[in-house]
Structure 1
């Protein structure tokens, strides 16, 4: 017999665009009149699907439609999909932050959730006080919290600041403490959104290890959302793929990733200046990106071994003197292959207000082997984040080329290639 700890049945969520509340009084009266006569809400019959790339014809949109799944005790479920697919909306419903428009959820245990940095924290209270506060919210007794508090503080790495109000914490410290509280106070169900991306690499490794431990040894259930496919692949035992508010796959994590990546093959990047999901103070932002070959011609594929230019168009919204431009290269699983910032080579740029500038980064003998790479970008101005795109800048095909200059295409299938200078040593 399956030990089901969470069951979602026919979950749907509808929003009215551009409105706060339920809309007009006429709509409210219409809903009431249908309810009096025992009929369905008339506005549930209309609405567009959750496709953020289209204009749509209705004032209503379905963020989620007819979501059904079960989660067994001790299972680690990965929920994956593109930005806007409905992942965070689903987690908010599961966490009871918002109610579904239709459908129901049944829980078989105590739940804790990390949907954003510092969820449930009081900024005026110290880290130690917030541990007790969050524990009480989770239904723990003071004695239970006290028995765990030393482990929580040690895991978070915030011991020096534990008696300081959390409003003075950095975002990384916030998420470290919030995760430690949620993990160590032993909820039966732990829901984790993309918040772990805020932490550094060391903490992410610790957090993933902790989630594996509480699932394997504690028999607890984890629902995990991330764009880091490597973390999803290593942590999760099962995956759900969401697309435009609907479940398109539910099964083994390997097959779920293949489904997601197959869809990624048809990825059509949004124009950079239209991307809404980004962070930073906006002094300098990405406007466009393209790749050139060594002759200055735009290309959409790269041959291994070719010399190429990455070209970034930057919009200067406020006069800036110390612009540090960076990009990272990822495989389809979002593993970082390499990254480069201009300040690594003591190079900075300047720009006048409302100016549009283009910055070129030449890469000689491109070393990555055949496959697809995801390119992401980030800008700092005076050491402070100015623009960080949460969507890829581009998805580029890499084809095998004459990397070694021998007239032959290498058959080696490693992720990247290296050259050596060979000689007989005296």
Structure 2
């Protein structure tokens, strides 16, 4: 018998676009008139698919549509997909932060959610007080919380600041404490969104290890959303791939990652976000990322620039950008951080990384963009957000037209010397 701990049945979520999010008075009256006559909501019959790349014809959009799945006890489910696929909306519904337009969620046991930095925290209260507050929300007694308090503080690494108001914490400290609370207060279901990307590499490693302990050692269930595919592959046992608010694939995590990578085949050389939707946190946000080349022809013989624009929202913050490059076999080709970490005033900035001509070989490449803040905490990690299919003119081949292998293909200098016999 399957031990089902969470079940989603026909989950759909509809939003109204524009300034008014909940609809107009005329729409509300129309819904009410249909309801008292025992008829279906008329606005469920309209609405565009959640595809940001196309201009729609309706004021309504389906963020999620007819989502059905089951999660067994002790399972780690990875929910992956492009930005705007509906992942965070689904987690908010599962966490009961927002209600579905149609469908229902059935769960057994406590659900602890980590959806945004500081979720459920009161900024005026100290870290210690927030631990007790969150425990009470989860239905735990003061005695139960106290028994876990030392472990929570030690794991978070915030012992020195535990009696300081949370509003004075950095985003990295806040997410450390929030994750420790969510993990150690023993919920039956732990829901984690991309928020872990705010922490530094050491904390991310600790968090993934803790989630593995929760699922394997304690038999608890984890729902994990991330753009960090290596973390998803390491942690998850099963995956769901979302696309335009629909489930494109559900099954083994390795097959799910293959499906996700196939979705990347549509080449993207530029992405932009409005400020309210830009990835990042309260300290900084990425507003655009772009690949540039001479006449926008991506050739081996041309320089390639990766142009990243971002907003610094905190005075005197040290920010730098980093890129990672992968080939179409998911081989990690290289990484290049900008190690110039000067203190920045509030404002908008642009960083450009230049790949020299005659460096990469022919083929498809995917670019991950990372924005790093104070103490090297990751503010935003945009996995494989840009992509190109690199070609060549062949000006260095001379009369050779055969296979030229390797991931990198620099045009190195050779010297021919005559040796006396």
TM-score for the superposition, normalised by structure 1: 0.81
Cα 1:364–1:19 change in 2 (3 A) is closer
1: CA distance, partners of 2:209 / 2:361:
30
1:249 is paired with a residue of what secondary structure?
strand
2:354 is the counterpart of 1:361: yes
1:213 is paired with a residue of what secondary structure?
helix
1:343 is paired with a residue of what secondary structure?
coil
Matches within 5 A, 1:53-72: 53-72=53-72
Matches within 5 A, 1:139-218: 139-218=139-218
Cα 1:420–1:258 change in 2 (3 A) is farther
Deviation of 1:70 (Å): 0.2
Deviation of 1:164 (Å): 0.7
Residue 343 of structure 1: aligned partner = 340
Matches within 5 A, 1:360-379: 361=354, 363=356, 366=359, 371-376=364-369, 378=371
Cα 1:148–1:161 change in 2 (3 A) is same
Deviation of 1:278 (Å): 3.9
Residue 310 of structure 1: aligned partner = 305
Q: Which of 322, 329, 345 does residue 324 from structure 2 map onto?
A: 329
Cα 1:374–1:290 change in 2 (3 A) is closer
1:118 is paired with a residue of what secondary structure?
coil
Q: How large is the RMSD of aligned CA atoms in angstroms?
A: 4.2
Q: Deviations over 1:73-101 (max 9, x none)?
A: 00000000111110000000000000001
Q: Deviations over 1:236-292 (max 9, x none)?
A: 000000000000100000111111110111143555477852448999987774343
Matches within 5 A, 1:229-244: 229-244=229-244
1: CA distance, partners of 2:381 / 2:20:
28
Q: Deviations over 1:86-117 (max 9, x none)?
A: 00000000000000010001001111000000
Cα 1:4–1:233 change in 2 (3 A) is same
2: CA distance, partners of 1:115 / 1:185:
17
1: CA distance, partners of 2:163 / 2:310:
43
2: CA distance, partners of 1:282 / 1:161:
20
Count of aligned pairs: 403
Deviation of 1:361 (Å): 2.8
Cα 1:379–1:312 change in 2 (3 A) is farther
Cα 1:222–1:370 change in 2 (3 A) is same
1: CA distance, partners of 2:227 / 2:165:
31
Residue 424 of structure 1: aligned partner = none
Q: Are the counterparts in 1 of residues 14 and 60 from structure 2 also a CA contact under 8 Å?
A: yes
Q: Which of 371, 381, 386 does residue 394 from structure 1 map onto?
A: 386
> Mind listing any 5+ residue stretches in structure 1 that lack a counterpart?
422-426
> Mind listing any 5+ residue stretches in structure 2 that lack a counterpart?
415-421
2: CA distance, partners of 1:273 / 1:45:
29
Cα 1:229–1:416 change in 2 (3 A) is farther
Q: Deviations over 1:50-84 (max 9, x none)?
A: 11122211111111000000000000000001111
Q: Are the counterparts in 2 of residues 324 and 342 from structure 1 also a CA contact under 8 Å?
A: no
1: CA distance, partners of 2:386 / 2:319:
20
Cα 1:358–1:372 change in 2 (3 A) is closer
Residue 40 of structure 1: aligned partner = 40
Q: Are the counterparts in 1 of residues 308 and 350 from structure 2 also a CA contact under 8 Å?
A: yes
Cα 1:379–1:158 change in 2 (3 A) is closer
Cα 1:284–1:196 change in 2 (3 A) is closer
2:294 is the counterpart of 1:299: no
Cα 1:324–1:336 change in 2 (3 A) is farther
